Chain A
């Protein structure tokens, strides 16, 4: 084995498999060896699926030997956020209420990667029910950022981002409801892609906010994001909101550059709360994209700040309804001692949910309750229309938007104990979810202290090919990918 397989991207690894330099079993064993030595410090994983992984790796290996490999993902070790149902493998969603839940089926995204030959290494840690921006709200333990273990990896897909950044998986799947793929990708210096709403099936995803939940890959580079998207995208009879649009061959469409594209720079994304180092890095990236031939134009998304307020009504409202299913009857925890059904349910939910989940259920129930519905939920839905129109007007003039992913680099554990301070961290990512637009975060530089800075690109609905092409063009023009976190 010439190279350490844990250092390779998906496309490099599958090339090495094809040439017979590395086998899927060797790569899978190398990943578990690395996880065994490092994950006690990072805590990226909640559950490891070692036996299942090794048997899948051996099957892939046999296919490579027989010349019948399934494609670029065959034998590639991948991690799944613990929000995805995995048949026969405990799926907790980061919550005590589902601590022992074993789903009877696979999520569509998991099934599609499995059918493409991907090897599941395990399930990654997350903020409980995907509610959080730091992975500190996991009911089990916080995940740490591989670039600086004192800092958070972001969230809620923090375990997935830390696994990819720490070279504990070749790639991972996460979910993005208010920024939960892009924000941890930015904090951990990996690529995080949130495609158009309806591009990837939500079937088998434990629901948080159904009109906002998106599945997305976290990868080492843009080409890998294109490979994973291509494997999981497309209509699904199990999810009627998954749109029947053709799936382009994304990896084949990365070349071609940015000449002739107009990139919009939204003025409101460079406001008061933005950290100076992040702003400087993003401005430098925009200048680089101009050097590469893109036209740059300033645009305005005047309702950006209101988007965050809309999000913190709509998402908790939908969550309060979705989480009503945890009633101690069909699955999950049941607390003892309930004197009737309502008492049993109320005790179960009090014991099973953490503080942030309770807060969001309460907020959502309040916003939907009689007398407050029009003032909160009804108004938020109307302002959501205004946010969407901002993007429509911008995209009438420009092809893509370019902006920071987050207002700052990764913060320290415990720094955002106030719930509202944590929420404000999502200000640049919620817009893409509210409008359902495809958006990607990739490395746009580093702070003086060596922490990654996220560069965000956004596109029109179903224009992932152009989004990925611009991201790839930028990525190839820098040497940001040469840096690795030092985990020993």
Chain B
């Protein structure tokens, strides 16, 4: 059973503000989904290699050559708050 505190902890890690009502609904829904997923515990996976990717492609190399890329204006064009050539964000470091 996932607890209310665990939901709040995961919401903090996920950077999601949840209302009290959302926290309780999320707790119930995650509980139901995790109960279903728990069927994976039935299987013996001792010694089984994990699969991260379906197609085994490793270390695709390319020449380290300069190619055209986005201009600064293009890269900043969708910013919700732009200051000149910077993304503006709320204060991070306290005085």
When chains A and B are docked, how far (Å) is the Cα of A320 from the Cα of B10? Answer: 11
Tell me whether chain B's interface is mostly helix, strand or loop, or mixed.
loop
Name the segment of A162-170, A306-314, A400-408 touching the other chain. A306-314
CB within 8 Å of A: which B41-95 residues: 41, 43, 45, 48-55, 57, 60, 62, 70, 74-75, 77-81, 87, 89-92
The listed residue (A237, A329, A435, A437) touching B89 by CB distance below 8 A is A329
Chain B neighbourhood of A436, CB < 8 A? 53-55
Q: Which residues of B contact A41 (CB under 8 A)?
A: none
Please determine whether B55 and A306 come into contact, CB atoms closer than 8 angstroms: no
Tell whether, in the assembled complex, residue A197 and residue B54 are in contact, meaning their CB atoms are under 8 Å apart: yes
Given contacts A331-B79, A349-B15, contact A381 B55 (CB under 8 A): no
Query: Which of B6, B15, B43: most chain A Cβ within 10 A?
Result: B15
Chain A residues positioned under 8 Å from B48 (CB to CB) = 382-383, 385-386
A369 pairs with B16, CB closer than 8 A: no
Assuming the A-B contacts A198-B55, A313-B37, A362-B26, are A342 and B14 also in contact, with contact meaning beta carbons closer than 8 angstroms in the complex? no
Which residue of chain B lies nearest to A359 when distances are taken between CB atoms in the complex? B29
A196 contact from B34, B43, B45, B55, Cβ within 8 A: B55
Asked if residues B16 and A350 are in contact (CB atoms below 8 Å), the reply is yes
B1 neighbours in A (Cβ, 8 Å): none
Please tell me if the beta carbons of A329 and B57 are within 8 angstroms of each other in the complex: no
Name the A residues within 8 Å of B2 (CB-CB): 366
Q: Which residues of B contact A296 (CB under 8 A)?
A: none
Q: A residues within 8 Å of B by Cβ?
A: 100-102, 104-105, 196-198, 211, 237, 240-241, 243, 303, 305-306, 309-310, 312-313, 320, 324, 327-334, 338-347, 349-350, 353, 358-359, 361-363, 365-366, 369, 376, 378-386, 388, 418-420, 423, 433-437, 461
- Given A332-B80, A378-B50, A435-B54, 9 other A-B contacts at CB below 8 A? A105-B70, A197-B53, A306-B39, A340-B91, A346-B17, A362-B11, A369-B9, A380-B40, A419-B32
Instruction: List 9 contacting pairs A-B, 8 Å CB cutoff, sorted by A.
Output: A324-B15, A345-B15, A349-B17, A362-B16, A365-B10, A380-B37, A383-B40, A418-B32, A423-B36
Which B positions have Cβ atoms within 8 angstroms of A? 2, 6-7, 9-18, 22, 26, 29-30, 32-34, 36-37, 39-41, 43, 45, 48-55, 57, 60, 62, 70, 74-75, 77-81, 87, 89-92
